[in-house]
Structure 1
């Protein structure tokens, strides 16, 4: 939205995420629904298709490219990076984190399909944690349009290890889910409230406490 002026004292999402990527020294954890930081005006499958390079520049696509470069630079500095995403509706939506992780032992990339655990649902959270100290929680996808074209809102906690530790617990729980075989840890139960069969993890409150797993 190039004609809207920034509110004094309010940081842009792109600046915050680029700063976190550029200044991480030990660890960077990221949760995203999908990735499309790099514009693809030549790809017929992309919503960017058909626009000229000049138009993409006017739209602000370079902000996504700058953020992706900051992540690459962070990976090349040997920062430990964990990337957790939903698989998205297109194979292209997981291409960028896969590329970041390719050939880099310090970068781990996983996808988490919540439908395997609850029968439906997606990873919709957008979370960044840097060095167990700085945290972004907001609505912006890892998409150049979220940085320049879409109304998004987020909270940036700077130098706040107490909050970072709490959010890291949430991240680690999702990361653990992604590493488990859901078929070994799910059950189908009858939900009395909604009168439906429901697929749930074996520790769910829908299961009798005596039958729950740890």
Structure 2
């Protein structure tokens, strides 16, 4: 609508046409001429007072109401910035209670090891290493990282593995931006050890990064900081299965979600980071109750509202959850209970027990939830676990027990377990901690859940992790939602040459 047309419509709405307006103007001019001098002075003062009030109100609105942000062209990973990624889901999100209004970009990012090859033509998702590198290079104010350990540099292996270059690039970019002193870098890591030394973070601290380590044994009696999280400028973040390790970019199969231009969700994950930051301070202890400053704006009951669904972030262990934060286990159980068609799970380790140095017991919580979904609601349950040289020797036996539940004769129960394993040629031995499907996600007909934890009691009760939960019911929309994309990833892996029946390993 042009400016002239809008004015014309406003005039007509007030009952004024060009002819009537001219007549009204003449009447007002005559009235002004007939006024005495004192009346004119009074009218002038009245108008001046009204003008001052209007200007004051305008200034208050300017300072108290945040200006509109033009996010039509979000700062993002370069492929998304150019609009060339087929897998990014852009949604406008609004939450009336918080005033949030962002043009959020949700993107699945994957690491597909160099030795892994698929036969289908599905467009690849952005790769983890370049996505993280782009976040770092575009940072302007802050970078916050929560991690299990750091091994990004090429000298981590002898002889040097050429596939470690992506990790070296990420390290160099972080080191350079820290050395320049214009971006504040905060890192919380698990307590370093001989197995997981702090070589990288010592160098980053020398370059200006503020580094803290969390001692889980002292805080909760066991467990680790298993979170894998990057947060940049209070706007963009990554959460998923990829450790801060060059292997996670080229030698280990990973999956995560990159969220961009989403200040409200970024503020929510920042509160999780601040919990870590406080607990990693010297002589810290887990408080009996957390300050409301750490409480989230969104959770299972009041999620972040988007055009295509809802989102919230969960956390573990429960003792790290301030009031209002949904515990990670509760989020998973809620997603399972609401499925009515299928539940697809891809996770490296699945164990129905809690096992710490001083404590061990059977823990059937997830088993029971999956059996209930399959038996009571006739939901198809497919569980894809990983096998590599570090797998627990009893894991597949426990899973055989779970799958046997699906062999019910009287009641049809559709529950199947398969094993994802990388092929290893006779002349090629995998490097340490490589060539494994490290994914930790679940997708149902209603939800996408992407986490940082393996599925056993240890991880949900004694280990720090984060879950990203998005509800997006099935749709016939031609543009695939993030949930649908995640479903396709699972089906691709489930039907690939790397997926094998559990019976191949347990008979």
1:73 matched residue in structure 2: 176
Superposed counterparts of 1:154-173, under 5 Å: 154-173=256-275
Question: What do the CA deviations read for 1:111-170 (whole angstroms, capped 9, x no partner)?
Answer: 001221111110000000000000000111111111110111111001111110000000
SS in 2 for 1:40: helix
Distance 1:69 1:161 in 2: 27
Task: Tell me whether 1:30 sits opposite 2:148 in the alignment.
Answer: no
Task: Determine if contact 1:36/1:142 at 8 Å carries over to the other structure.
Answer: yes
The normalised TM-score by structure 1 is: 0.74
The equivalent residue for 1:132 is 234
8 Å CA contact retained: 1:61, 1:144: yes
Work out whether 1:152 is the aligned partner of 2:264. Answer: no
RMSD: 2.7
Superposed CA deviations along residues 49-103 of structure 1, whole A, max 9, x for unmatched, are 3x3x4xx11xx11111111011012213321000110024327621211211115
Asked if 2 retains the 8 angstrom alpha-carbon contact of 1:33 and 1:123, the reply is yes
Q: Distance in 1 between matches of 2:166 and 2:228?
A: 18
Cα shift at 1:184: 9.3
Instruction: Flag the 1:109–1:91 CA change in 2: closer, same or farther, 3 A.
Output: farther
Residue 291 of structure 2 corresponds to residue 176 of structure 1: no
Structure 1: give runs of 5+ residues left out of the alignment. 42-47, 187-199, 206-214
Alignment match, 2:206: 102
Does the 8 Å CA contact 1:116/1:182 hold for their aligned counterparts? no
* Matched length: 177
* TM superposition shift of 1:40: 2.7
Which residue number in structure 1 is paired with residue 114 of structure 2? 2
Equivalent position of 1:212 in the other structure: none
The 3 A distance-change label for structure 1 pair 103 and 129 is: closer
Structure 2 residue corresponding to 1:93, chosen from 166, 181, 197: 197
| Aligned: 1:12 with 2:115 | no
Separation of aligned partners in 2, 1:177 and 1:141: 21
* Structure of greater relative contact order (alpha carbons < 8 Å, 6+ residues apart): 1
Q: Distance in 1 between matches of 2:197 and 2:270?
A: 24
Aligned-pair distance for 1:183? 6.2
Is the CA contact (8 Å cut-off) linking 1:134 and 1:158 kept in structure 2? Answer: yes
Report the CA distance shift for 1:182/1:18 in structure 2 as closer, same or farther (over 3 A): same
Counterpart position of 1:117: 219
Displacement of 1:27: 0.1
After TM superposition, give the deviation of residue 8 of structure 1 in Å.
2.1
State the shift of 1:9 in Å.
Answer: 5.1
For residue 5 of structure 1, report the CA deviation from its aligned partner: 5.9
Q: 1:91 to 1:75 in 2, by over 3 A?
A: farther
- Is 1:62 matched with 2:165? yes
TM-score by length of 2: 0.33
- CA distance in 2 between counterparts of 1:73 and 1:130 reads 16
Which protein shows a greater Rg?
Answer: 2
